[in-house]
Every structure is written in C-alpha cells, then in structure tokens.
Amino acid sequence: MEIAPETSEDWWEVEALLDLCFGPGRTALSSYRLRDGVDPVPALCLVARDGGAIAGAIRTWPCAVGTRPALLLGPVAVHPTRQGEGLGAQLIGAVLSIAPTRVILVGDEPYYRRFGFRRLHGVEMPPPTNPGRVLGVGDWTGVTGPVTRATTD
Ligand SMILES: CC(C)(COP(=O)(O)OP(=O)(O)OC[C@H]1O[C@@H](n2cnc3c(N)ncnc32)[C@H](O)[C@@H]1OP(=O)(O)O)[C@@H](O)C(=O)NCCC(=O)NCCS
C-alpha cells in the first residue's frame, strides 16, 4: 500500500471513490458548503493505492470557528473491498500527525473517538447538522461559534 499526497491526476478517481462510499448526493451535505470555493490543504490530502488501484483517500480543508482557524477533516473514504483493514486509521493518523492543532469533523463518534475526537459544544456547523456528530481534537479551549468558510485572499 502506497500513501502519497493527492495530485491533480488523482482528483476524479477520488471523486468516484467518494461517490461510491457516500452516494452521489453527498455534495448536498452542509459540510460541503464550507468547502465551496476554498482550496484544500495539499499536504493533508492523501491517496492510498494498492498496485495502482485506489484503496482510500482523505481530504482536509481550512475553515474558521468563531474567529479562530481550524482544519476540517474529511471526507475520508476506504473502498468497500478494503474496509476494516486499518487503512482508514492509517489515513486519519497520517493527517493528524502533521496537522496543526484544532481539527474538526462531522462523523460517527464511535469511530473517531479512537483518534481522540470528542463532541464539541458551542461549535455550530451550518444546518442541518446533527450536533452529536460535530467532533474535534486538539486545543479547543475557549473556541466556540459558527463554523465558516476559510477566507481566501
Ligand atoms: C469509515 C471508514 C473511513 C473507516 O475506514 P476503515 O479502513 O474501514 O476503518 P479501519 O480499518 O481503520 O477501522 C475499522 C474499525 O472501525 C469500525 N468502524 C468503521 N466505521 C464505523 C462507524 N461508522 N462507526 C463505528 N465504528 C466504525 C469497524 O467496525 C472496525 O472496528 P474494529 O477495529 O473494532 O474491528 C470506511 O469504513 C468508509 O470509507 N466508510 C464509508 C464512508 C464513511 O462512512 N466515511 C466516514 C464516516 S463519518
């Protein structure tokens, strides 16, 4: 398994994997509104390949929470034929090992708590988002407010 930063040639293959794992309606999710018109963080977007075939991918975007910067982790997806082999953990671990502090995501706490993610209180994702799925890891002391798109220069 080779894990490497995503390149522009990988883009559509990763999109196809995300459609497969989440369904093509995934871009209607409110978390996608935080990504519209914002470039992802290249060093924190990774693709895993096994003999050339894509096995998993993770992307990360900048965002803001209140007035403070944060990273929005995800989407993360592992091909259905490769799930349960630890690849998701490898991809998430790789990003967290180089991400600056304060990472947020929308996801299942029973999965993400093994990486240190806990429910965030006082942090509001764009509606409609189940508050119980708004999770964070890192230094969230005193950081509250709406999650908004990172401003671009
Ligand atoms: C979620 C996902 C990224 C995990 O990747 P993976 O490579 O299959 O996961 P790992 O091999 O690292 O971990 C497997 C473990 O996570 C558990 N797990 C997987 N998804 C879970 C979930 N949604 N909730 C709770 N536990 C989950 C498995 O039961 C397994 O548990 P075990 O270690 O006790 O056997 C992958 O299953 C996937 O792409 N799913 C479809 C898309 C998706 O739902 N993405 C993110 C959800 S917010």
Query: pLDDT tens track of the chain, all 153 residues?
Result: 999 999 999 999 999 999 999 999 999 999 999 999 999 999 999 999 999 999 999 999 999 999 999 999 999 999 999 999 999 999 999 999 999 889 999 999 999 999 999 999 999 999 999 999 999 999 999 999 999 999 865
Cα separation of 63 and 36, whole Å? 11
Cα separation of 44 and 126, whole Å? 23
CATH number of this structure's domain 2-149, picked from the four choices 3.30.420.280, 3.90.1150.10, 3.40.50.300, 3.40.630.30: 3.40.630.30
The predicted pLDDT at position 89 comes to: 98
- Cβ of 138 closer than 6 Å to ligand 1, yes or no, is no
- Cβ of 92 closer than 6 Å to ligand 1, yes or no, is no
What's the whole-model pTM score?
0.95
Radius of gyration of the chain (CA): 15
Coil, strand or helix at 31:
helix
The predicted pLDDT at position 107 comes to: 96
- Say what the alpha-carbon torsion angle 126, 128, 130, 135 is, to the nearest 10 degrees: -20
The predicted pLDDT at position 152 comes to: 66
120 has which bridge partners?
none
- Cβ of 83 closer than 6 Å to ligand 1, yes or no, is yes
The predicted pLDDT at position 153 comes to: 56
The predicted pLDDT at position 100 comes to: 86
The predicted pLDDT at position 138 comes to: 97
The predicted pLDDT at position 101 comes to: 87
Residue 52 and residue 25 in contact, taking contact as beta carbons nearer than 8 Å: no
Domains of the chain, residue spans: 2-149
Q: How far is the CA of 20 from the centre of ligand 1 (A)?
A: 15
Q: How far is the CA of 67 from the centre of ligand 1 (A)?
A: 32
